[in-house]
Structure 1
C-alpha cells in the first residue's frame, strides 16, 4: 500500500521517539539529558551491560555504538514488535491519533510531483538571490542595510528580491520548467479572468522558508512599497507548504536548541534574523498566522519550555493571549510556555539595536510562566469592588483552568491562581467603606484605612492562635529535615511536599535549600555539610525532639521513617492551611460575617483536628469547638475571640449553633 506524500513526515513530527523507545528500555539517568532529548540506555537489540544505545529525540533517530543498529520510530517498532512496515506505521499512527489514509493508487505520481516542486523552489531561491545584486534592487539593499543586515548575513539567510517586472515565472519557463509547476509551487497565480498566469511576488524582498529537513517549501515577501496593503505576504498553501505546520528557521533552531540554546518564538522574519545574528540562534517564527496547535507540538518536540517573545504593544499582548487559549488544552507534564514581553513600542530587533543583546537576554531570563499571563489578562485594568465582580473573575478563571486536560497540571494551576487571588484581594478596599472612591481602580500596595481599624485587633488574636503552632511547626520542620537526611532514599517519594515546604527558621531554610540542590544524592549529610559546614547540622540533630524521632531511633527501618514523614508533612500542611484559611476569610469579608465565614473557619479547624489526632499529648488540653472539631484550649479560645472581633468590627453577630 502506498501512502500519500507527507504522511510519514507528519507521523514522525507528531511522535516522540523517546516515548516510543522508552516503552522497551530503561534510560540511564546518569548519562541521559532528557531536557535536551539526549537519551541513553542498554541496547534492546543485543545483550550488553553498558548504555551504548543512543536516542536523539529531537532529530528522531537512534544508533547503537555496540551492534550499530540505527533507524527511526518506524524501524524501531518493526524490529521490536516483529511486524512489517505498514503494520509498524499503523501502530504508530494509532498512537499519534492519525487515521491511515485510504489506498491511493496515484501516490507515486504525487511523490514525483513533490520532488519536481522542490527542484522548482530551489531554482527560485537562487534566482531571487541573484536579483538582489542587480541595479533594480538598490532600494531593497539600502533597506536591508538600514535594518543592520550585512552582505554576509544576507547570504547566510539566502535573502533575495522579486522585481516588479520580469519575474520568476518568465525565468523558469524560459529554462524549460512547465508553467503548471510554477503555479503549483505557489510562485505564480492564475488570473480569475482567465488570462495568463502572473508572478505572485513583485517588488518584494524575498525570505526563503525551509522545512526541518532544509528543503525550500515557500517564500515570505516584504513589500518595498510602504503603501501596499499587504506589508508581508507568504506563499499560498501548496503540496509543499502548510503555513500552520511550518516554522521559519525550523531546522537551524532545532539544531541550536539541541546544543543548549533557549528556543525563542518571535513574530516575524526580521525578528528571527536579528535574534539569530545576535547569538540567539534557536529562534523561529510562525508564518503569517497565530501559533497553531501543530506548531505548538513542533515547538515542544524541540524544547520543553519555548519562550514566546512578542512585542509589548496591544497587538503583541493579544497574540500572547491567543497562544494561551490554544496551549491550555495541550499542556503536559514538563511541557509549557514562558512569555518575554518587549518594552512597549519595541520589537526584538529594535531592542537589540538600541540596547544590545544583553538587554534581550535579561528579558528572556525574566520570562514569566503562562499562568501569570493568564492572571494578568483576567485582572489587568478591571475593578473588583463587589462580590459579584469577584465571583465573575473566579468563574472566568475556572473556565480557563477546566480546559487543561492533565489533572495534575490542572490542580497546580488552581493552586497558583489561588495564591495570586489571595495576594490581589489582600489589599483591596471593602466596598462598604469606599465612599467616593468606590469607582477607583484597585492599586497593589496601597494602605487600606479600614484594614488599619481591624488589623491590630485581629492580628493580636492571630498571634495568640499562631504562637503554639509556630513552635510545633519548628519542631516538625526539624524532624522532617533530619529524617530526609538520615533516610535520603525516601526523598523521591515526597518530592512535591519537599519542594513546597517553607521553613521559618533561617538555619532550616539553608538546610532545605541545600537538600533541594543535592536532591537524589544518597550521601545527603556529607553534601549538606560541604555546603553549610558542621554547625547547622549539629544544631538540627542536637535537638531532643529530633533525637527521639522514629527515624533516628530506628535508622534501619525505612517503613517507619516513611510513615513518620507522611504524618509530619500532613500535620504541617494542615496547620499552615488552617492559618491561611483564617487569613483568607478575614481578607474576603465584603459585607457582614455570616454562616459562610463561620463554616469556612470551622472546616479549617476540623482539618487541623484530623491532622493532630496522632499526637501523644494531654487530652485535658483539648476541647470541642462549635463544629465538633477537637482543638487545643488556647487555640479554641483564640479562634472564638477572633470570630468575636470580626463580628464586632462588621456590626454582626456570630450565628449560634
Structure 2
C-alpha cells in the first residue's frame, strides 16, 4: 500500500520525536536543551555509558555518534518496536489522531501528479519575479520601496508581480508546454463562464509565494495594487497542494530560526512577517487570511512551546486574539501555551517597526501577556461587578471556559490563576479602588495603606500583645473589633459557609489592618478547605497571631469556635454579628448627620431619626437566640448574658491556673 506524501508530511509535522524516543530513553538533563528541542541520551541501539544519542526535535531526526544509527520517528518505531514501515506509520498516526488513508492503488500516480503541480508552481514564481522587473511592474516596485523592502529582501521572499492582464500567466505557461489542466489544477487560472479561454486568478497584484515546511511552493498570496479592489489580499484556492487551514506563511525559515533560539512570532499578514524577519525576528509566521486553526496551532507548538501571538492593536486584532484563546483552550498541554503581544492601537508589527524600531517591538514581546491574563481581560474589561448577580455571572462564564481545558493539571492551574485574579479585582474594590464599582463601605480610615489597585507598601502584622490588648480597649470601637474577631474566627473554623455570606464579608469594614488582611486571606483561600485555609493563614498571617486570635476569651466562647465544623451554628452566628455591625454603623451615621443638622435649626425629626436608629441597633444587638436569655448591665452599659458571663469567668479562672495571665 502506497501512502500519499502529504500524509507522511503531516504525520511528521504532528509527531514529536522527543516524545516518541522519550518512551525508550532517559534524557541527559545536563546536555539536553528541551526549549530548543536539542536532546541527548544513551543510545537505545547499542550498549554505552555516555550520552551519544542525539535528537533534533525541530528537524525530526535522530543520530547516534557511537553506532551511527539515524532516522526519523517512523524509523525509530520500526527499530525499537520491531515492526514494518506500515505498522510504524499506523502506530504514530493513532497517537497523532490521524486516520490512515484507505488503500489506494493510484497513490503513486497521485504523488507523481503532485510533483508535476509543484513544477508548474515554480514556473509561476519565476514568471511573477520576472514581471516585477518590467515596466509593467514599476508601480509595484515603487510600492515595495515605499514599504522599505530592499531588493535583497524581495529576492529572499521571492516577491513578484502579476500583470493586470486576463491571460498573462496562462499564455506564458501554455507557450512553455504546460498542460492547461495542470494550470487549472494549481489554481493559477479559472475557466471562463462564457466559454472563452481561461483567465488568470491573479491580476494587477504583488505576489507572495507560499511554501510548505519542505520549501515547495504550494500557493500564492496577492496584494491588490488597485485601492478600490474588492479584495485587498487574495490567496490561491484550495488545491491538491494547498490547504490554507494547515499552512503557515514562512513556516520553513521560521522553524530554522526558532531552532536557533528565537521566539516564534505569529503575525497577521505577509508584510508583517517580512518586516519582522528583516528586523531580526526571523522566526515569524502568519496564518493565511483566516483565524488560526487547530492544525496551525499544532504546527506552531511543533516549532516552539510558547508562540507569541502579535496581532494588530485594533478591535479586529483583539477579536482575533480572543478567537485564538477559544481554539487553544481544549488543546493545551503541559509546556504548550501561548502568549499575546498586542500592538499599540491602530498599528501592526510593520507599523511599529517603521515608527519606533526593533527595540520597541522587543519590549512588547518581553511584556507579552500569558493566555490566562488575556482571557481574564476579555471577561472583565469594561464591566462593573457591584452586585452578587454580576459576580456570579463572571464566575459562571470563566468556569465554562476553564472546563474546555482537557488536561486536569492545567485546568487546575487555570482555576487557581483565575481565582487569584478575581481576588485582586475585588480586593481593589474593598480597598476603595475604582475596579468593580463601589461597595457598601471601604476600609476604615484606621487602615494605614497606600492603594492604587495594588499594595504599594506591605503592612506589618500587629504584635500578639497588641491584639490581646483588645480586651482592655475602652474606646467606643472596641466592641466592633470584638464582633469582627468572632466573624473571622467563625469563618476560619467553618470556611464552607463563606459562599453564603461572601458579598457581605467582602464589603465588611475592618477597623484593624490585621483583621482586614485576615479577611482577605479567608476570601482568597476559603474554598481550599479548613486545613489548607489554616495553613495559608499561618504562612501569611502568622501562627502565633492566629492562635492568639482564637484564644481570645470572647472568641473562644463563640458557638462556632467552641464547635468547629458545626455549620449550622456558623450560619446563625455570622449573619447576626454582621447585622449588629451594620446597625452600629447606621446609628453612627445618623448621629453624625444629626450633629450636622443641629448646627442649624433642630426639630423633632432629628430626635425621631435618632430614636429609630437606636431602636434598630438595639434589635440587632438582641438576636433571636438571645430573646430568652437573662442579661446583666456591664460597667460600660452593654447588655451581657448572665450565663455567658459566668462561663467567661470560669474560663478566665481556668486560664489563670494553667499559665500566667498576660498583661
Structure-2 separation of matches of 1:403 and 1:19:
24
Report the secondary structure of 1:130's partner residue: helix
**Residue 426 (str. 1) matches residue 427 (str. 2):** yes
Per-residue CA deviation, residues 15-44 of structure 1 (Å, 9 max, x unaligned), is 111100000000000000001111000000
Q: Which has the larger radius of gyration?
A: 2
Structure-2 separation of matches of 1:367 and 1:47:
46
Report the secondary structure of 1:279's partner residue: coil
Counterpart of 1:124 in structure 2 is: 124
Structure-2 separation of matches of 1:417 and 1:322:
19
Structure-2 separation of matches of 1:185 and 1:248:
18
Counterpart of 1:500 in structure 2 is: none
Structure-1 separation of matches of 2:557 and 2:52:
64
Q: TM (normalized to structure 1)?
A: 0.73
Aligned pairs (5 A) from 1:125-164: 125-164=125-164
Is contact 1:331–1:405 with CA below 8 Å preserved after alignment?
yes
Counterpart of 1:48 in structure 2 is: 48
Unaligned runs of 5+ in 2: 450-458, 468-491, 510-519, 565-569, 587-615, 626-663
Report the secondary structure of 2:404's partner residue: coil
Q: TM (normalized to structure 2)?
A: 0.72
Aligned pairs (5 A) from 1:167-566: 167-428=168-429, 443-444=434-435, 451-452=441-442, 454=444, 456=446, 467-468=463-464
Question: For residues 606 and 206 of structure 1, do their structure 2 counterparts lie closer, same or farther at Cα, with a shift above 3 Å needed?
Answer: closer
Structure-1 separation of matches of 2:462 and 2:121:
73
Structure-1 separation of matches of 2:528 and 2:34:
41
Structure-2 separation of matches of 1:340 and 1:160:
31
Question: For residues 258 and 627 of structure 1, do their structure 2 counterparts lie closer, same or farther at Cα, with a shift above 3 Å needed?
Answer: same
Counterpart of 2:560 in structure 1 is: 627
Cα displacement (A) at 1:190? 1.6
Report the secondary structure of 1:308's partner residue: strand
Cα displacement (A) at 1:627? 3.2
Is contact 1:5–1:110 with CA below 8 Å preserved after alignment?
no
Counterpart of 2:637 in structure 1 is: none
Report the secondary structure of 2:261's partner residue: coil
Is contact 1:352–1:360 with CA below 8 Å preserved after alignment?
yes
Counterpart of 1:588 in structure 2 is: 506
Cα displacement (A) at 1:195? 3.4
Structure-2 separation of matches of 1:137 and 1:624:
90
Structure-2 separation of matches of 1:321 and 1:70:
42
Question: For residues 604 and 181 of structure 1, do their structure 2 counterparts lie closer, same or farther at Cα, with a shift above 3 Å needed?
Answer: closer
Structure-2 separation of matches of 1:64 and 1:470:
69
Cα displacement (A) at 1:604? 8.6
Counterpart of 1:90 in structure 2 is: 90
Cα displacement (A) at 1:584? 7.0
Report the secondary structure of 2:2's partner residue: coil
Per-residue CA deviation, residues 109-130 of structure 1 (Å, 9 max, x unaligned), is 1000000011111111111101
RMSD, aligned α-carbons: 4.0
Cα displacement (A) at 1:367? 0.5
Structure-1 separation of matches of 2:526 and 2:374:
34
Is contact 1:41–1:52 with CA below 8 Å preserved after alignment?
yes
Structure-2 separation of matches of 1:453 and 1:258:
53
Cα displacement (A) at 1:413? 1.1
Report the secondary structure of 1:217's partner residue: strand
Counterpart of 1:512 in structure 2 is: none
